[in-house]
Structure 1
Amino acid sequence: MLTLQEQLKFCRTCQKRQLDPQRGIVCSLTNEKPTFTDNCPNYQIDSSEAQRLASVEQEAIAAEKESNDFFSPEKKGIKMGVVGGVIMMIIALVWFFLGWQAGYIYFYPPVLFVIGIYAFFRGIVKGNVSGQD
């Protein structure tokens, strides 16, 4: 037996769905929330809505994957081209010298500086000066 959430997943892509402002998605035939157990006998797929929901779900998965990525800020900097590379190099230099003045040597600023150099030259080669690519 399906839960209400699983039933509503079917209803979201059905041509017979209707939106009730107080109750949400309901069936236009019964004007009620879904009551079927496994499959709705009146289900007719709304292809465009099913395709739209699938693309929204794919975008959400991609965004979640990108946000969980450890190097996400660096990837965004690389996409910004020359400007992103310069910004990363400046951050790396400031971070390194402030840490050095405080008596600490952090390992990541040199790595960030190298990533900035890569982004800088990649931006030059691709003609991506300000993140337009």
Structure 2
Amino acid sequence: MTRDEHLEFCRRCLNRKFDSNSGIICSLTGQIAAFEKECCDFKIDESVKIEVDDQELLGHSEIKEKLPTEIFEKLRLEQNLFGAIIAGFGTAIVCAILWSVFTVTLKFQMGYMAILVGAGVGYVMRRIGKGIDQIFGFFGAGISLFGCLLGNFLSIIGFIAIANDLGFLETLILFDYSQLTNVMSETFDIRDFIFYAIAIITGYKLAMRSVTEKDVKTFKKNL
């Protein structure tokens, strides 16, 4: 029996115990399950109801645990971190420019644009990078934050340009960057913090390849 088949029993057994290194183990033996067909010590836990959602996304550790080593390593070889980073930064810059255009045109600071930045960056990084390692998520979060800050900054430059009857590029060149931190902090409020946080989380989650229980079953069938 495979580890997954063992776990189907172990998750419903009263003798189960969680170990930080091995996951679910037997409290009687202190080891992971090794039985064939059935376990003589199995005692069903009636309070446990297992519902398998084939569409639920799996985390990195779950993917590594559920997929055969051969398939997991094959997916890792398909990863393209450099391409994902370049595409992520490109998307962040485009989103930041659109953010500033809408904000200056409507004369309203739209903090929720940050969420779109995170979603855009994450989605593009996932498509290009095909990453299952957490490093993709970390870069997705960081680049999303960069896009949010850039969008906010470009919006400020736009407002300054209009107020002083200057061109955008001219204002960008003449701006006193020693005052950047002060200017950014003056326009920042709690709502921005919330939207930025959502953008970072979204960028992190979407930047990694989506693998579901259904995908795991398909991979195993094609092995």
TM-score by length of 2: 0.24
Structure showing greater relative contact order (alpha-carbon pairs closer than 8 Å, 6 or more residues apart): 2
Structure with greater Cα Rg: 1
TM-score by length of 1: 0.39
